[in-house]
């Protein structure tokens, strides 16, 4: 059965919508995308009386996320599931409230601030390399190591605080929520927000525990005196709040929670996939080690060094293509719209999925192949709207530059110090849970390099 809404390719998915829904509700959000979505520009499901559009046409994506972004809101199930984590912070706010929050948060991620943040990244990377040298070639599970690392980076950059006392509880709360209460249920999809589901009771209990933890962190940071200049993101947030009523206690906690979750979980996942792919392609790993060579990865030079790591940046871009941390953007049309000749009825759900878009057979050559040369200087750049690891438009990720800088510097420090190998040779299945995570990550072997580059002081 097919249906035509324009003269361009359009497919009504042959896969039963209920099967895709069941797959997603069981925690396999990536497996719910039909195979034709990786080949067609537009695929439509019918589910619960509504159309669900999977859009892979770059010009339509431009229209939806940039030109007419105000017509596309977060659907109620998304708000219901994510509000316990993000509250009323930047991620879930809308309209004038969102604009005000964006203006308040933006200075914390300006280029000047990112240069400050690079110092925190370099310091954390140096500590990580020192700790990992003690592994003595023993198999090591890197996922928890990388989670602690990225949490330490965001903690030190945000608060100038050691996060050891909070790390275990933060990681436990985020991952336990993602694996249970963070998964939408059928009732979440059919009931309006004003009617609570049984899961909402658990989410409220989680919210109380979560916000209490964030407030403890904020309270500890407030007790510190802020010297004569900005030292971290917390200082910049407070300084940007010229209207002192804007960042009240709960709003500040929500902003902090948003940055902690976004800056910790997604970056740790991207680092895992980077190391997994480099362990599978040793020649590429050696190229990165040679590039880092004798570059100064110390705290004071880190910001300048990051721009010299051209091949490492290309690897990071390719990893973000294959394993985008934010694997899907979901919106609901407020009013009828026409997106590059595609009629979008009001109340329809629109899915723009980087997981699908970045592997689309009409947009990429050999889309399943790990090929960093796609992003090297001189290579034809991908369409801005076919490569969106941080989203696009007014709601693009405000911390994108910081995240890329962090990934580049940490990856360079690791490959320069170690030859990274897989402890078990097997394919790792990605799952969509908060970010694009490995379902059953293998152990890694880190073999200390004996050459001069490895011994160069960080």
Residue 47, phi then psi, degrees to nearest 5: -150, 130
Q: What pLDDT, on the 0 to 100 scale, is given for residue 18? A: 58
Interatomic CA distance for residues 154 and 160, integer angstroms: 9
- The answer to whether the pTM exceeds 0.85 is yes
Q: Residue 161's closest CA among 218, 112, 211?
A: 218
Q: Residue 327's closest CA among 257, 375, 273?
A: 273
**Tens-of-pLDDT digits for all 458 residues of the chain?**
333 333 444 544 545 565 666 666 566 788 888 889 999 999 998 776 778 899 999 999 999 999 999 999 999 989 999 999 998 888 888 888 888 888 878 887 888 888 888 988 999 999 999 999 887 778 999 999 999 999 889 888 777 777 778 888 888 888 888 888 888 888 888 888 889 998 999 999 999 999 999 888 888 888 875 555 556 677 767 766 655 555 566 777 888 888 888 888 889 999 999 999 999 999 999 999 999 998 999 999 999 999 999 999 999 999 999 999 899 999 999 999 999 999 999 999 999 999 999 999 999 999 999 999 999 999 999 988 999 999 999 999 988 999 999 999 999 999 999 999 999 888 899 988 778 989 889 999 999 987 544 433 33
Asked if 297 and 303 touch (Cβ cutoff 8 Å), the reply is: no
Q: Residue 258's closest CA among 113, 80, 79, 88?
A: 88
Place of tokens 């390399």: 129
Task: Specify the pairing of strand 42-47 against strand 11-12.
Answer: parallel
End-to-end CA distance of the chain: 61
- CATH no., domain 11-455: 1.10.630.10
Q: Mind giving me the DSSP string for 227-288?
A: -SS--SHHHHHHHH--STTSS-HHHHHHHHHHHHHHHHHHHHHHHHHHHHHHHH-HHHHHHH
Q: What pLDDT, on the 0 to 100 scale, is given for residue 25? A: 57
């Amino acid at each position: 059965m097919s249906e035509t809404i324009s003269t361009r390719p359009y497919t009504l998915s042959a896969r039963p919508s209920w099967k895709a829904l069941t797959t997603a509700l069981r925690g396999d959000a990536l497996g719910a995308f039909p195979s034709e979505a990786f080949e067609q520009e537009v695929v439509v499901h019918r589910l619960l009386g509504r159309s669900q559009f999977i859009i892979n046409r770059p010009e339509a994506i431009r229209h939806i996320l940039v030109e007419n972004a105000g017509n596309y809101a977060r659907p109620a199930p998304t708000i219901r599931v994510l509000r316990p984590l993000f509250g009323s912070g930047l991620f879930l706010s809308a309209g004038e409230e969102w604009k005000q929050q964006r203006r308040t948060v933006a200075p914390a991620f300006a280029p000047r601030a990112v240069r400050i943040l690079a110092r925190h990244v370099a310091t954390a990377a140096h500590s990580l390399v020192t700790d990992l040298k003690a592994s003595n070639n023993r198999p090591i599970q890197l996922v928890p190591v990388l989670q602690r690392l990225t949490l330490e980076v965001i903690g030190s950059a945000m608060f100038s605080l050691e996060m050891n006392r909070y790390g275990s509880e933060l990681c436990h709360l985020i991952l336990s929520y993602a694996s249970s209460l963070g998964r939408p249920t059928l009732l979440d999809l059919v009931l309006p927000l004003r009617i609570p589901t049984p899961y909402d009771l658990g989410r409220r209990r989680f919210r109380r525990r979560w916000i209490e933890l964030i407030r403890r962190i904020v309270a500890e940071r407030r007790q510190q005196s802020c010297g004569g200049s900005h030292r971290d993101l917390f200082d910049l947030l407070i300084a940007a709040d010229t209207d002192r009523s804007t960042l009240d206690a709960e709003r500040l906690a929500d902003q902090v929670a948003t940055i902690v979750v976004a800056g910790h979980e997604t970056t740790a996942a991207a680092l895992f996939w980077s190391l997994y792919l480099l362990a599978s392609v040793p020649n590429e790993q050696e190229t990165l080690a040679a590039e880092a060579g004798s570059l100064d990865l110390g705290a004071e030079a880190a910001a300048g060094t990051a721009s010299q790591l051209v091949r490492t940046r290309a690897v990071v871009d390719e990893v973000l293509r294959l394993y985008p941390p934010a694997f899907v953007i979901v919106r609901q049309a407020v009013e009828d719209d026409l997106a590059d000749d595609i009629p979008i009825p009001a109340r329809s759900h629109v899915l723009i999925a980087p997981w699908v878009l970045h592997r689309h057979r009409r947009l990429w050559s050999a889309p399943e192949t790990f090929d960093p040369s796609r992003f090297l200087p001189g290579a034809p750049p991908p369409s801005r709207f076919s490569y969106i690891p941080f989203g696009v438009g007014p709601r693009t990720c405000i911390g994108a530059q910081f995240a890329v800088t962090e990934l580049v510097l940490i990856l360079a420090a690791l490959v320069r110090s170690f030859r990274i190998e897989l402890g078990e040779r097997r394919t790792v299945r990605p799952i969509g849970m908060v970010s694009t995570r490995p379902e059953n990550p293998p152990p890694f072997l880190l073999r200390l390099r004996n050459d001069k580059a490895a011994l160069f002081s960080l």
